[in-house]
Homo-oligomer: A and B are copies of this chain.
Amino acid sequence: MKTERLIYLPLGGAGEIGMNCYVYGYGPADRERLIVVDLGVTFPDMDTTPGVDLIMADIAWLEARVDRIEAIFITHAHEDHIGALGHLWPKLRAPVYARRFTATIGRLKFEEHGHPRDAIKTVGARPETVEAGPFRVQFVPVSHSVPESSALVIDTPAGRIVHSGDFKLDPAPIVGEPWDPDAFAAIAAERPVKALMCDSTNVFSLHPGRSESTLGGPLRELIGNARGMVVATTFASNVARLKTLAEAARASDRSICLLGRAMRRMVSAALESGVLTDFPPTISPEQAQEIPRGNLMLLVTGSQGERRAAAAQLSRGKYLGMEVKEGDLFLFSSKTIPGNEREVGKIMNALSEKGVRLQDDAGGLYHVSGHANRPDLVTVHTTLKPKILIPMHGEHRHLREHAEIGAASGIVSGIVTNGTMVDLTGDAIKLAEHIEAGRTYLDGSVLIGAYDGVVRDRIRMALNGHVMVTLLMDEADEPLGDAWVEVMGLPKRGRSGAELAEQLEAELADFLDRSGAKIMRDDDKLEEGLRRAVRQVAVEEIGKKPEVTVVISRLQDE
């Protein structure tokens, strides 16, 4: 009887774009040997995660099985794939495999966290193979918007899996390897593909994707026609774009100055790892100030409106001595990720107030996506001919659309979301188990669970304000003076025109007068009564139910 099984369990990235973390296992049920693919982050927002610094997958399931983890594979150096590595690696301590550029970025993170650099192993492209328990894993170069992105070929005793990573079909990506249809055909020819786990980001884009190399001409023209200083922003990790922008700048006699930590870091990692060989020389902000504005281009971080990045700083005023002025050109060689529109808009308007000419992606003239569009996905399906298709890297609607496309081509296609473990041993996608797949927040320096209530309390204070009541009780369980009210985040005066805090204190005094010894002796009842009184007055006065914290101090030693 065959008892081994092949399992797939996404912990992040399947039902969202971000926070990628996928687990594969092979072996007897509940004793499978495991590999982890990617450990990414997603970014917080005020609506759901105020004050949080980073969001990553909850890896409690992996932690409980840490002795079964053979290895961690990182497909590429985007934060949604590698961003949690430094934070979570100590909980897993398995060897990490990545290609050179990705490994370089990973080691920078490890240094910051004080983890051993040599826990990250550099792997060459296929046919180089990593043996990890029952898995044999190869990195297949794909084109994407960061150097050395890879798909993984994962061979198991139950069959071959292709994990696409993030990719596009770019025949001329400027930096890094082009999409190689023959290499992918060879993968399927060598051994039939049992399952394809596939990027779904652009499944709603109906036209074939466009090559990075189409941008050079328009960018040269745009920058060539500019008179003042040119400032361009894009993702720092898009090294190909940086190169294209820099070359366009050079073509019109502009010196290049990199602004923003990530920008300098990525360029030097790209040079160090050898993926970038002929980047024009750059100058420092100090040197830049000596150069006529018409001979200068700044490459800056902050294309998504990040408040502390260089683009936002420049929109507000001077940054490292540099300043944008009327007649300058500010180019967003980027697409605004849904949810970031307001912040990006703020920067654009602030620049507009300074008289700066704005240029966005102009519908594709100055930016192309790094992900495969719908026809490109179909090409990959057709090339790899997988028995099973499991879409990943998408919100639920992306996964569903992608699965429908697969099913329409006769591929067994299914939606497998975070926390769903499926058994792929047979020819179908068989539900194995549901795992509690939550999120972990980096909050300041502490990792907390998404359901710990910490963030919920913050949201409540932000929506409702906070009233603090202090009450002193003497040895005879009588109030010593009146209850004291402090108010934070609420209007000073309400409907009656009197001060809210005073109105509240008056009502609390009434409540204490009315209440008998039974309530006075009981902290819970007293607290509940005080809270209710506060909320009632607040609703009457200001139409809001605030959060209430009651502190009762009793003088006697009970």
Contacts and interface: CB of A to CB of B under 8 A. Distances in A.
20 contacts: A46-B46, A46-B462, A47-B47, A50-B462, A50-B463, A338-B341, A348-B395, A349-B395, A351-B397, A353-B396, A444-B544, A445-B544, A446-B491, A446-B494, A455-B489, A468-B486, A468-B551, A470-B551, A480-B555, A481-B553
A457 interface: yes
A443 interface: yes
A17 to B, nearest CB: 10
Contacts of A397: 348-349, 351-352, 358
Contacts of A41: none
A352 B402 CA distance: 12
A283 interface: no
Interface in A421-454: 443-446, 448, 452, 454
Nearest to A348: B397
A446 B51 contact: no
Number of copies: 2
Interface centre among A45, A50, A490 (most CB of B within 10 A): A50
Interface of A: 15, 45-47, 50-51, 338-339, 341-342, 345, 348-353, 358, 395-397, 399-400, 443-446, 448, 452, 454-455, 457-459, 461-466, 468, 470, 472, 480-481, 484, 486, 488-495, 541-544, 547, 549, 551, 553, 555
A337 to B, nearest CB: 9
Contact of A472 (B459, B472, B491, B544): B472
Contact of A51 (B358, B452, B464): B464
A395 B348 CA distance: 9
Nearest to A344: B338
A412 B33 CA distance: 74
A395 B351 CA distance: 12
Contacts of A488: 457-458, 461, 466, 547, 549
A413 to B, nearest CB: 14
A271 to B, nearest CB: 33
A505 to B, nearest CB: 13
B338 A484 contact: no
Nearest to A468: B468
Nearest to A500: B446
Given A45-B342, A452-B491, A543 B446 contact: yes
Contact of A484 (B444, B553, B555): B553
A47 B457 CA distance: 16
A544 B446 CA distance: 9
Contacts of A358: 397
B338 A458 contact: no
Given A46-B50, A50-B50, A50-B463, 18 more contacts: A51-B464, A338-B341, A349-B395, A349-B396, A349-B397, A444-B543, A445-B494, A445-B544, A458-B462, A458-B463, A458-B465, A461-B462, A461-B466, A461-B489, A462-B462, A468-B486, A470-B470, A484-B551
A495 B445 contact: yes
Nearest to A204: B360
A544 B458 CA distance: 14
A338 B342 contact: yes
Contacts of A46: 45-47, 50, 462
A550 B519 CA distance: 27
A464 B468 CA distance: 17
A46 B44 CA distance: 12
A339 to B, nearest CB: 5
A6 to B, nearest CB: 26
Contacts of A50: 46, 50, 459, 462-463
A395 B353 CA distance: 10
Contacts of A461: 458, 461-462, 466, 488-489
Nearest to A480: B555
Contacts of A345: 338, 395
